[in-house]
A and B are shown apart, each in its own frame.
Chain A
Amino acid sequence: MKILLIEDDAEIAADLCLNLRTEGHNVVHATNGRDGLFLAATGSFDITVIDLLLPDINGLDVLRALRASGDKVPALILTALGSVSQRVEGLDAGADDYLVKPFAFSELSARLKALARRSSQQSAVTFLRCGSLQLDRLRRHVIVDNREIDLQPREFVLLETLLLHKTEVLTRTMLLEKVWDFHFDPRTNIVETHISRLRGKLGPCKDIIHTIRGVGYVIRDPVL
């Protein structure tokens, strides 16, 4: 992936560049909003990562300028300000995702991959499949080995979310946001509990959900 990183803190930027390049991405780094806007206009990127507190132009204004110029590259906002109203403001300005500092690199990496795929995937599909499992998004039921299984509403949304992001790792935080709309970190292991119950109900298909230790969960097609 070709990533444009607009971040003024040299240490954080160097660290991020190193980690992202290790993962095989092509990273272009801008230290201020002006350079960022220039680079965004000249190179074709798969993802833009913007820090909110930039020395010259506010990150939100950079994003608004990008969106106003017709730039549709998925954007992730990095910020030290984690208040809910600011998150809403960021999403309003055209951000596709929002990550509060400090964060684990694995969290950023997972979110970037999800974002990059979101732009290419069709979200209008009705049937999601994985092995012998089929999920019908319109009738909201799940069939495993030709038998319908009974899921709680959130278990359904959890499975749907994982299937929509098949082969992508979704972190605990991402799942809390997408499935439960929790924008804070509960101590109770809600995600773990639901995953374990979901696995229990999927029976023969339970192995399609993989746990990535310390990061999150991913659904992959079974290896035959």
Chain B
Amino acid sequence: LNPFQSTGAKLTLFYVVLFFVTSAVLSVVAIFLVDGALRRQVDLRLTTEVQVLQSAPALVEAITSRMGNQGGIKYSLVDEAGHHVIGDLSSNTTQNGFFNLSLNEDTNAEAPDALRGLGQTIGTDFLVVAIDTDAIENVEDTLLGVFGVTLLCASVLAFFGGRWLSRFFLRKLDQFASTAEAITKGDVTRRMPLNAAGDEFDRLSHSLNTMLDRNAALLESQHQITNDVAHDLRTPITRLRQKLERGQHADALADTDEIIATMNALLRIAEIEDGARRQHFTPLDLSSLCRTLAEAYAGALEDQGKILQVKADQPAMINGDQALLTQLLSNLLENISAHTPSGTLANITVTTSSSSVELRISDTGPGVATSETTKLSRRFYRAEKSRGAAGSGLGLSLVQAIADLHGAKINIQNLDPGLGVILVFDPAKNERGADSQSYSTF
């Protein structure tokens, strides 16, 4: 792998360049500012000096007395005829105002080689005061040196800092990568590392772990279905085989239908559990659905000597899958039809409140022991009393799956006597697309 292809190297290089450019720009700006300030100060001193001399009563004496003790200020006074009157500076400037003077040809190493001067006509004479600007250049040189070293240090720091930062992030990413690799290799129980910081990495871990959990649950449910199919179809297939051997074709057909029904129920549960059906949700009236189902079953139940009553007059709007809710109600009514004796009274009640819709299907049949109520919706579970009755033991699993899909709470109660199944729908909650998580950028 080319080291410059790695994100770490790119990050480091980025940090170094960023630090270097920032520091360099800062240095240049600082030097300009310092230079400007120093030069303004020099000009101010020269102006002040000229003013002092202008106001002196005897110019030549004043210059003489100040020469040499004004911190590097040099003087030159030239008379009308151009003769040098006094001063330690030789200048041929004759114009008023500031000027720069270079004395590069001067061989004396001690002497200044750059001067800033100010010319001013006083009476008939011409005065020049000048000051050595080498000091300013020295300050600038020093500053340049300091900034240079700073720049170097910053770059080195940036290099190590960048490396540390990128390693820190990359180590995190490596943890994700190695976890993913472990999961791919078969260790499906591994999860992304969590830290207590609650930072973006932690949230990413949480999201990924939620996804992994969901996948694991799906995998588990697939596994479960395979097992269930193998387990529950073996018995009827064995029976079918025996009947075919004995030539009982009519019975064999009935067994085949039984097998198909079981398989359909299993596939239906699997389809519902994967949750994709939520896309088909539409607003519907649960009361009207209950009345339709009750009408379908009333006759059959009546023939068995049972009475079915419906109290569902108020519209009860929920979001749901009509076909599946039809199946849910049908399964519950099938249970009453198959597992209660003649003379049983069954009730379907739909009640609405401001926040929920409650569906209650109860009967006065033998019911189920309280200890068994929680096991009822398990796949293939048959309550003790119903072992002899027809059915695959999948009816309530399907009811449970459909209720879960609709976000409905299901409660199975032993009414003693009788069994009550209560489903509570939350119309506000069972709309799809309710849960989506978003990330802020920082």
Q: A: which residues have CB within 8 A of B?
A: 82-85, 88, 100, 102, 152-154, 180-190, 192-194, 197
Closest 10 A-B residue pairs measured CB to CB? A193-B299, A193-B300, A188-B337, A83-B271, A188-B300, A190-B296, A84-B323, A186-B330, A197-B299, A187-B334
Distance in Å: Cβ of A174 to nearest Cβ of chain B: 16
Q: Is the CB of A187 within 8 A of B277?
A: no
Interface segment among B37-45, B106-114, B259-267: the answer is B259-267
B147 at the interface (CB under 8 A from A): no
Which chain A residues border B334 with CB–CB below 8 Å?
186-188
Determine if A194 and B299 form an interchain contact, defined as CB atoms under 8 angstroms apart.
Answer: yes
Once the chains are docked, how many angstroms separate the CA of A5 from the CA of B390?
A: 37
The answer to whether A187 touches B338 (Cβ under 8 A) is yes
Closest CB in chain A relative to B206 CB, distance in Å = 31
Chain B residues within 8 Å of A192, by CB: 300
**Chain B, Cβ-Cβ closest to A102:** B260
- Interface hits, B275-304 → A, CB 8 Å: 276-277, 280, 292, 295-297, 299-301, 303
Tell whether, in the assembled complex, residue B296 and residue A180 are in contact, meaning their CB atoms are under 8 Å apart. yes
Tell me the residues in window 247-281 of chain B with beta carbons closer than 8 Å to chain A beta carbons: 256, 260-261, 264, 267-268, 271, 276-277, 280
Is B333 within 8 A of A188, CB to CB?
A: yes
| Across-interface contacts of B337 in A (CB, < 8 A) | 187-188
Chain A: minimal CB distance from B288 (Å)? 11
Nearest-neighbour CB distance to chain A for B257, whole angstroms, equals 8
B338 contacts across to A, CB distance below 8 A: 187-188
| Contact status A187-B390, CB under 8 Å | yes
A81 nearest CB neighbor, chain B only: B267
Q: Which of B276, B295, B323 contacts A152 (CB 8 A)?
A: B295
Tell me whether A187 and B391 are in contact (CB under 8 A): yes
Q: How far is the CB of B265 from chain A (nearest CB, A)?
A: 8
Nearest B-chain residue to A198, judged by Cβ: B299
Most buried by A among B296, B297, B301, B390: B296
B326 sits at the interface (CB 8 A): yes
Q: Is the interface of B mostly helix, strand, loop or mixed?
A: helix
Asked whether A183 and B300 contact (CB < 8 A) given A82-B267, A102-B260, the answer is no
Give the distance in Å from the alpha carbon of A185 to the alpha carbon of B295 in the complex: 17
The distance in angstroms between the C-alpha atoms of A190 and B322, with both chains bound, is 19
Q: Which residues of B contact A83 (CB under 8 A)?
A: 267-268, 271
Distance in angstroms between the alpha carbons of A102 and B264 in the assembled complex:
11
Residue on B with the closest CB to A154? B295
Q: Is there an interface contact between A183 and B323, defined as CB atoms closer than 8 Å?
A: yes
What chain B residues lie within 8 Å of A183 (beta carbons)?
Answer: 323
Task: Kindly state whether residue B327 has any CB partner on chain A within 8 Å.
Answer: yes
* Bound-complex Cα distance A188 to B297 (A): 8
CB of A154 within 8 A of CB of B330, answer: no
Residues of A within 8 A of B267 (CB): 82-83
User: Shortest CB–CB separation between residue A201 and chain B, in angstroms?
Assistant: 12
**In the complex, chain A residues whose CB is within 8 Å of the CB of B323:** 84, 181, 183
Cβ 8 A contact of B264, one of A154, A184, A186: A184
Residues of A contacting B301 in the complex (Cβ-Cβ under 8 angstroms)? 188
Alpha-carbon distance A85/B324, docked complex (angstroms): 11
Residues on the B chain within 8 Å of A194, using CB: 296, 299
Contact B300 A190 (CB under 8 A): yes
B344 shortest CB reach to chain A, Å: 14
Minimum Cβ distance to chain B for residue A152 (Å): 6
Q: Is the pair B299, A88 in contact by a Cβ cutoff of 8 Å?
A: no
Q: How far is the CA of A197 from the CA of B271 in the complex (A)?
A: 36
Expressed in whole angstroms, the Cα–Cα distance for A110 and B31 within the complex equals: 98
Indicate if the CB atoms of A181 and B326 lie closer than 8 Å.
Answer: yes
In the complex, the answer to whether A189 meets B296 with C-beta atoms within 8 Å is no
